[in-house]
Structure 1
Amino acid sequence: MTKIMEMNSSELIQSIQTGKLRICVIGIGRIGLPTALSFANSGLPTTGVDINPKLVADINSGLFPLKDEPGYDAIFENVIKEKKFIATTKIEEGVPTSDVVLLSLPTPMDENNVPNYSALKSVGRQLHDLLTPGSLIIVESTIEPGFVENELISIVEGNDGRLKAGKNFGIGVCPETANPGQILNDFERLPRLVGAIDDKIASIITKIYRHVFTVDLIPMPDCKTANAVKLTTNVFRDINIAFVNELAVLFEKIGIDIMKVLEAAKTKYNFQVHYPGAGVGGPCLPVNSYQMLNLAKRVNEDLSIVKAGRTINESMPDHVVGLLDDGFLEAKKNMKDSEILILGISYKPDVKDIQLTPAESIAKKLQINGARVKIYDPYFKSSEIFGIKTENNLVDALTNTDAVVIVTAHKEFHDLEPTFLSTKMRTPIVVDSRGVMDQHAAKKANLIFRGLGRGKI
């Protein structure tokens, strides 16, 4: 095994080009698995470590788990066939024999909206015992600025003097920048940030990533600055979605269609369009805003705009239910004992992922109001989600339904014809929270239509 921290530049490049550098990726989920496959596909032998035994078994059996990530199925087949990638549940099988250890672990929120770094801390403690001196750790997980410098390094070092950052092991960050459903495209297109505890380690990381990815690698002065950039870009989106959501609620009341406003506004050179919706979900935006708020709290700052953005986006499921209430009022029906179909439960279109999806909150609120909730999502057929057995067929799901709520703008739902809905439903109430339906066509089909930010027609 090579000791990457002891190599000079030419030795490192030769080791990379000849495939002698061994990689271990800890956490092979939505981002970690494509990352591991990219490293393996570049010719570097890669081990993926995950605590999910079914995921590991499926991978080693040749079953690709991310069907909604175009392009990676072919890469997966190739690296499995060439035995460049294997998976294991045992971290002790991957770390000691690897030159580079990548951490692609989840950083969710706890019940108090405080970022939970327990997975990173737990792995950090294991790295203290398992890491071979001379190795390199690269953190790809999205973390608060300062977490590496203030917490992770000391956890990995421990108190026995065996490991010392910058002396006999390296540590740096290269935050992932990928949109679920488009990861291969983003890995081939979006620049990456490289930060480390010193210039030598940053240079090593840059050389490795340059071999694997064909994108620009932007040097950052340290780990915390790189992590600050990652948070800034995502919190920017969360805040701007909140701004548009707030306008959507306003425009509804005065008869302005927010979609018409946004389509015209985006023709201005400095306007970056964001769209309203039932809420902001996923493992990134909500969590990243709370990471920023947690960071501010630790240094006695108050990020009022970030906080307000979260409040607005978290209120949107209530607003969607309010639109539904209004539809039932027009239909002169009671929501209690009605059948309501939720279309789409993924937190974003065309991805099989329900992390922090607003659909869960909407479903629970409807059940509290006494409605019988049905779910149809092309990515979650005949499953049990939120305690509800999902529908296998859209036509059957629509039969005897009193209302439909479009929560996720899957491609399939863009093709829904208003007349089709009106002929299948018992009561033709439709709430479109994602702007997928033409409201004039909806009116022509005699739907009782409510569009988020669309106004009544």
Structure 2
Amino acid sequence: MTTNSFFSSVDSFSENLSKNNIKVCVIGIGRIGLPTALSFANKNLSTIGVDINTELVNSINSGKYPLDDEPEFDKIFDKVTKNKFFSATDNISEALTKSNVVILSLPTPMDKNCVPNYSALFSVAQDLHDFIQHETLIIIESTVEPGFIEDEFIKIVEGKNKKLTCNIDFSIVACPETANPGEIFSDFHKLPRLIGGFDEKFSQITAELYHYVFNVEIIHLPNCKTANAAKLTANVFRDVNIAFINELAMLFEKMDIDIIKVIEACDRKYNFQAHYPGSGVGGPCLPVNSYQYLNTARKTFDGVLRMIETAREINEHMPHHTVEIVVDALNESEKSIKNSNIGILGISYKPNVADIQLSPAEEIVKHLEQLGAKIKIYDPFYKSQNIFSHMCSNSFDDVVENSDALILVTAHDEFKNIDPKILFSKMNTPIFVDTRGIMNIESAKKSGLIFRGIGRGGR
């Protein structure tokens, strides 16, 4: 890249950074992007957030913080909007022409065939080609397959006629985000950041920027694809290990072995990493990341990553296995699943957040509907909202009352102290299916509940 007073050297960039001369644009201000933008603005860097969701943009600009389940950022939001270091817009062209650093925090979901959908990134790549300032640093935080930036994204930014050239007109650095929803503030200031780019100087500049904003360890990687591979590998490792535990859980159910006891014992060994069974693996990361690797294998050598593929099959079976457990318990009570009143406790894909992306609860609800069950849903984050074609109940008691079975799908804090005696007294048929291992088996059975759990032994 040619000379720019900001980017001519790492020292020059650091000097301008300390003087708050750097102007930042964050494209995609959702679950991760908004906290990212607020973090940069909190360091007194002029930051503009871009999103196609006009309602979100207007809400932010009217002073409404949209992420109630992300603590700490509400205070930062109030501060940086008041002092005008942060604002939002849906006008990407205007934002790009005013920015030196552009950070992409865009979704990378799957299509119906489980193929990663990069349409948002492709669209923004074209906008970057059309509107970025000469000598702009583009930082891609979105999770993408190794090689996507090098093989696809950069070509769109440069243009068919090479109107722009990487490392002359702009530079790209990958810095894939690694924060967990519900814990983003803590993770932003605790977890190392992975950084790899096309140019060593701009990788160093990005490292300087992220250390300045977040004060965390920087892991330097040789290029974009290595940084993205590191992000995917960490998440797919979890997906595969959860599948291993889920498979054992289904075995242990037939052997009257409580998998929680097994995991607790194994966890005393120094090199064991505990993973837990459940009704499925959801969210925008683990399932998608596994399919990103499977897609990479197909494109790279027309092959299959058998372990990852099998892990996906196991984890995607778990919602159906959960329903099988319910049916078995109803059969024990001489009841049919048809017309039974089934209560779903929790629909978020993980505890204590309002996020139903790829939640196993959706498949559980669909399967129960196919079998003719009557369904009620309670989730403290979705009271009185229409989710999965059902109006969620406003209270826990409403779902418990006269139910024939309760399925705990999400281990929200609100559910961790459920009194099994109260459940027994209010339910029509006292079946409780714990898919997250939060209820004590002895207490449940002593209270009279017909208890079932993923991997929690037999009847």
Return the letter of the residue paired with 1:187: F
Which stretch of the first structure deviates more once superposed, 232-241 or 291-300? 291-300
Q: How many residues align?
A: 456
- Residue 412 of structure 1 is matched in structure 2 by 414
Structure 1 residue 13 displacement after superposition: 1.1
Aligned partners of 2:413, 2:249: CA distance in 1, in Å? 23
Aligned partners of 1:93, 1:424: CA distance in 2, in Å? 59
- Residue 318 of structure 1 is matched in structure 2 by 320
Aligned partners of 2:76, 2:266: CA distance in 1, in Å? 40
Give yes or no for the alignment of 1:229 onto 2:263: no
Structure 1 residue 206 displacement after superposition: 1.1
- Residue 398 of structure 1 is matched in structure 2 by 400
* Contact 2:63–2:81 under 8 Å retained in 1: yes
Shift of the 379–256 alpha-carbon distance from structure 1 to 2, 3 Å rule, reads: same
Aligned partners of 1:310, 1:6: CA distance in 2, in Å? 44
* Contact 1:28–1:36 under 8 Å retained in 2: yes
- Residue 11 of structure 2 is matched in structure 1 by 10
Aligned to 1:431, what secondary structure does the other structure show? strand
Give yes or no for the alignment of 1:167 onto 2:168: yes
Aligned to 1:218, what secondary structure does the other structure show? strand
Aligned partners of 2:298, 2:103: CA distance in 1, in Å? 29
Give deviations 1:259-311, integer Å, cap 9, x for gaps: 00011111100000000000000000000000000001112232100001000
Aligned partners of 1:45, 1:345: CA distance in 2, in Å? 38
Unmatched segments (≥5 aa) in structure 2: none
Mapping 1:193-342, distance limit 5 Å? 193-300=194-301, 301-342=303-344
Aligned partners of 1:430, 1:115: CA distance in 2, in Å? 37
Structure 1 residue 427 displacement after superposition: 1.1
What is the aligned-residue RMSD (CA, Å)? 1.1
* Contact 1:98–1:135 under 8 Å retained in 2: yes
* Contact 1:5–1:134 under 8 Å retained in 2: no
Aligned partners of 2:96, 2:358: CA distance in 1, in Å? 32
- Residue 347 of structure 1 is matched in structure 2 by 349
Return the letter of the residue paired with 1:263: E
* Contact 1:38–1:212 under 8 Å retained in 2: yes
Return the letter of the residue paired with 2:278: G
- Residue 188 of structure 1 is matched in structure 2 by 189
Give deviations 1:225-250, integer Å, cap 9, x for gaps: 00000000000000000000001101
Structure 1 residue 373 displacement after superposition: 0.8
- Residue 443 of structure 1 is matched in structure 2 by 445
- Residue 99 of structure 2 is matched in structure 1 by 98
Give yes or no for the alignment of 1:388 onto 2:399: no
Aligned partners of 1:29, 1:379: CA distance in 2, in Å? 17
- Residue 21 of structure 1 is matched in structure 2 by 22
Which stretch of the first structure deviates more once superposed, 297-306 or 372-381? 297-306
Give yes or no for the alignment of 1:35 onto 2:36: yes
Give yes or no for the alignment of 1:434 onto 2:436: yes
Aligned partners of 1:149, 1:220: CA distance in 2, in Å? 15
Give deviations 1:190-229, integer Å, cap 9, x for gaps: 0001100011111111111111111111110000000000
* Contact 1:346–1:354 under 8 Å retained in 2: yes
* Contact 2:10–2:201 under 8 Å retained in 1: no
Aligned to 1:95, what secondary structure does the other structure show? helix
* Contact 2:256–2:457 under 8 Å retained in 1: yes
Aligned partners of 1:6, 1:338: CA distance in 2, in Å? 66
- Residue 356 of structure 1 is matched in structure 2 by 358
Unmatched segments (≥5 aa) in structure 1: none
- Residue 68 of structure 1 is matched in structure 2 by 69
Shift of the 97–408 alpha-carbon distance from structure 1 to 2, 3 Å rule, reads: same
Return the letter of the residue paired with 2:227: A
Aligned to 2:344, what secondary structure does the other structure show? strand
Structure 1 residue 441 displacement after superposition: 0.8
Aligned partners of 2:264, 2:73: CA distance in 1, in Å? 33
Which stretch of the first structure deviates more once superposed, 87-96 or 289-298? 87-96
Structure 1 residue 58 displacement after superposition: 1.4
* Contact 2:6–2:12 under 8 Å retained in 1: no
Aligned partners of 2:368, 2:102: CA distance in 1, in Å? 46
Normalising by structure 2, what TM-score? 0.98
Aligned to 2:407, what secondary structure does the other structure show? strand
- Residue 56 of structure 2 is matched in structure 1 by 55
Shift of the 222–4 alpha-carbon distance from structure 1 to 2, 3 Å rule, reads: farther
Aligned partners of 2:132, 2:414: CA distance in 1, in Å? 48
* Contact 2:236–2:286 under 8 Å retained in 1: yes
* Contact 1:375–1:390 under 8 Å retained in 2: yes
Which stretch of the first structure deviates more once superposed, 393-402 or 215-224? 393-402
* Contact 1:5–1:136 under 8 Å retained in 2: no
